C-alpha cells in the first residue's frame, strides 16, 4: 500500500499508531511531528523520575522511529510553524496524537492563589519539561495537599516524600531535586472525593507508599469498609480487593503517625476553597465531607480545614483546542467518532478518549485507529504530495526540524550530563539548550541566534 500519513505528537499513542501503520501498510511514508525537539511525550515528561523501568519503553518507540518509511520531525509546532490545514493538504491522512496537556480546574474559590498548581505543570516541572521548567513552585512546608486519588497524585506524593538517596537512581532534574530536598515537609495530604473502593490508583502504585525510607502512609480505619461490596464492573473486583487490603495494612501500622514524613490518605473529602495565608498565597484548604449516592460523591455541609502552604490538583486533563479540530468541550477531548474526527483526519490516545489508562492502554486504541486509517487509504488512494510538500513549506518558513539523529545527539548529551552526577540522565530543560547540542554551539550563543 502506498500513501502519506502525518502523525502529530510523538508520545505513546502516536508511536503505537506509527508502528501499526508501518507493520501493516508496507510502502507508506509516515512523518511523526512533535512541537518539542524531543520525542516520547509523557514517557519522558510525565512518568515519574523514579520509575525508570516504565521509561524503558522508549527503546521500543525508538525502533518504531527507526523503521523504513518513518521519519521524526521535532521542534515543529502545529499552530505555530504549520497549520492543521497545511498538513491535511499535504498528506493523505493526518492523525492527531496531541494528548491532553491542559490541567482541569478545580472550580473553587482561591485556586488561582500563589502556591496552587495543576499536576500537569507540577509534574512537568520536576520532569524538566520546557513548558514548566521555570515554575519554581512554592514549597514552604510543612504541609502539601495533593487533590486526587489517581496514580499521578501518588507519584507527586512519593517524589516529594522520598529522600535524595532514594531519588538518586532516577532522572529527577538537579534544580527540582534541590528544591524538594530543601522543602521542610512533614505532612502530605492525598485527598479524594470518593471512597477507598472508588479510588482510581493501582495497587502497585499504592503499595509503594509503604516502602519509603522516611515517610509512612496514614489511613483512618474508620474510612475503610469491611469489604469491597457490590461493583458495577465485577471484573474490577480483584484490583479493588487488593487496594482495600493494602489500605487496611496501612491503617494497622502502629508507628505511622510518628514518621518524619506522613502521607495522609483522606477519603470522602471534597475541596471547597483555598484560603489565604499571611502572604496571600495558599494557607488553608477547606474540605467538605462527602458520601456516595448512585456512584456519585455528594457534598455535605460538614467541613474542616487543613493548614497547607502548597496545593497540587491532580484531577485530570483536557485536550488543547487546535484550529480545524473542534473540541468536545464537555469531555475535554477532540470531537471524534471511534477515532475519526473528519474525512482523512483521525485522533488517538488521550486526545481521542480522555486521560485514562496507562501507557500500554494506548496500544490497542492506536491499533484500532490505525486500521481505520488503512481502510481510509485503501478507499481513497494516495493523492497528496506528503513529506516533500511539508519540507518545502518548512524551508520557506525558515523552520529547521530536529531529526531522529539530532535527537540522539541530545539524548547522548543528557546521558553524559547525568553520568557526571551519578544519574541516568540530566535533561536539558530549555529548547535553546537542546538546539545548541544539535547545532554544536554553546546554548547562550544559540539563544542569541534564535532571537536575531
Q: Span 290-306, mean pLDDT?
A: 94
What domains can be seen in the chain, in order of their start residue?
3-101+318-402 (3.40.50.720), 105-315 (3.50.50.60)
CA distances from 171 to 47, 100, 110, 189 (A): 10, 23, 33, 25
Edge-to-edge, what's the strand order for the sheet holding 187-191? 116-118, 310-313, 143-147, 187-191, 261-266, 215-219
448 has pLDDT over 90: no
Question: Residue 237: its pLDDT value, please?
Answer: 95
**pTM, two decimal places:** 0.93
44 is in an annotated binding site: no
193 is in an annotated binding site: yes
Confidence band, pLDDT 50/70/90 cuts, at residue 4 = very high
357 is in an annotated binding site: yes
Q: Span 242-260, mean pLDDT?
A: 95
205 is in an annotated binding site: yes
Assigned C-alpha cell, 290: 462527602
218 is in an annotated binding site: no
Confidence band, pLDDT 50/70/90 cuts, at residue 25 = confident
Q: Sign of the CA dihedral 110, 114, 120, 122? A: negative
Question: Residue 452: its pLDDT value, please?
Answer: 38
138 is in an annotated binding site: no
Tell me the pLDDT tens digit for each residue of 330-380.
999 999 999 999 999 999 999 999 988 888 889 999 999 999 999 999 999
Tell me the pLDDT tens digit for each residue of 56-103.
999 999 999 999 999 999 999 999 999 999 999 999 999 999 999 999
78 is in an annotated binding site: yes
Tell me the pLDDT tens digit for each residue of 188-200.
999 999 999 999 9
Contact yes or no for 96/348 (Cβ under 8 A): yes
308 is in an annotated binding site: no
153 is in an annotated binding site: no
CA distances from 285 to 199, 281, 383, 441 (A): 21, 11, 58, 48
358 is in an annotated binding site: yes
Question: Residue 431: its pLDDT value, please?
Answer: 97
Question: Residue 442: its pLDDT value, please?
Answer: 54
359 is in an annotated binding site: yes
129 is in an annotated binding site: no
CA distances from 152 to 315, 366, 394, 398 (A): 9, 22, 37, 38
Tell me the pLDDT tens digit for each residue of 393-402.
999 999 999 9
Q: How far apart are the first and last CA of the chain?
A: 45
Contact yes or no for 104/121 (Cβ under 8 A): no
Confidence band, pLDDT 50/70/90 cuts, at residue 446 = very low
450 has pLDDT over 50: no
Amino acid at each position: 500500500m502506498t500513501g502519506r500519513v502525518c502523525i502529530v505528537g510523538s508520545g505513546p499513542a502516536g508511536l503505537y499508531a506509527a508502528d501499526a501503520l508501518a507493520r501493516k501498510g508496507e510502502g507508506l511514508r509516515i512523518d511523526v511531528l512533535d512541537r518539542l525537539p524531543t520525542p516520547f511525550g509523557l514517557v519522558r515528561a510525565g512518568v515519574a523520575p523514579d520509575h525508570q523501568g516504565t521509561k524503558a519503553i522508549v527503546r521500543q518507540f525508538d525502533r518504531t522511529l527507526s523503521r523504513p518509511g518513518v521519519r521524526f520531525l521535532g521542534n515543529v509546532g502545529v499552530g505555530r510553524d504549520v497549520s492543521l490545514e497545511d498538513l491535511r493538504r499535504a498528506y493523505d491522512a493526518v492523525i492527531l496524537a496531541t494528548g491532553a496537556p491542559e490541567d482541569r480546574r478545580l472550580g473553587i474559590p482561591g485556586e488561582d492563589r500563589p502556591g496552587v498548581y495543576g499536576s500537569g505543570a507540577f509534574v512537568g516541572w520536576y520532569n524538566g519539561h520546557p513548558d514548566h521548567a521555570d515554575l519554581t513552585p512554592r514549597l514552604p512546608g510543612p504541609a502539601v495537599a495533593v487533590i486526587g486519588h489517581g496514580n499521578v497524585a501518588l507519584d507527586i506524593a512519593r517524589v516529594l516524600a522520598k529522600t535524595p538517596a532514594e531519588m538518586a537512581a532516577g532522572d529527577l532534574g538537579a534544580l527540582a531535586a534541590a528544591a524538594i530536598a530543601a522543602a521542610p515537609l512533614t505532612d502530605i495530604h492525598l485527598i479524594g472525593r470518593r471512597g477507598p473502593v472508588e479510588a482510581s490508583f493501582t495497587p502497585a502504585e499504592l503499595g509503594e507508599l509503604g516502602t519509603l525510607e522516611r515517610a509512612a502512609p496514614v489511613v483512618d480505619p474508620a474510612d475503610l469498609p469491611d469489604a469491597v461490596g457490590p461493583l458495577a464492573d465485577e471484573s474490577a473486583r480483584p484490583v479493588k480487593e487488593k487496594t482495600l487490603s493494602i489500605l487496611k495494612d496501612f491503617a494497622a501500622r502502629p508507628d505511622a503517625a510518628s514518621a518524619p514524613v506522613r502521607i495522609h490518605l483522606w477519603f470522602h473529602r471534597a475541596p471547597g476553597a483555598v484560603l489565604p495565608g499571611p502572604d496571600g498565597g495558599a494557607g488553608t484548604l477547606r474540605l467538605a465531607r462527602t458520601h456516595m449516592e448512585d456512584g456519585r460523591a455528594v457534598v455535605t455541609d460538614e467541613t474542616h480545614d487543613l493548614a497547607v502552604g502548597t496545593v497540587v490538583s491532580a484531577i485530570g486533563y483536557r485536550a488543547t483546542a487546535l484550529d480545524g479540530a473542534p473540541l468536545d468541550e464537555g469531555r475535554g477531548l477532540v470531537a471524534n467518532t471511534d477515532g475519526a474526527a473528519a474525512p482523512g483526519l483521525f485522533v488517538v490516545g488521550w486526545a481521542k478518549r480522555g486521560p485514562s489508562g496507562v501507557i500500554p492502554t494506548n496500544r490497542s486504541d492506536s491499533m484500532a485507529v490505525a486500521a481505520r486509517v488503512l481502510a481510509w487509504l485503501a478507499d481513497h488512494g494516495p493523492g497528496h504530495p506528503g513529506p516533500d510538500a511539508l519540507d518545502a513549506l518548512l524551508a520557506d518558513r525558515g523552520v529547521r526540524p530536529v531529526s531522529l539523529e539530532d535527537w540522539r545527539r541530545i539524548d547522548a548529551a543528557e546521558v553524559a550530563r547525568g553520568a557526571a552526577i551519578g544519574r541516568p540522565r540530566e535533561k536539558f530543560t530549555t529548547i535553546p539548550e537542546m538546539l545548541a547540542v544539535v547545532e554544536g554551539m554553546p546554548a547562550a550563543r544559540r539563544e542569541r541566534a534564535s532571537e536575531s
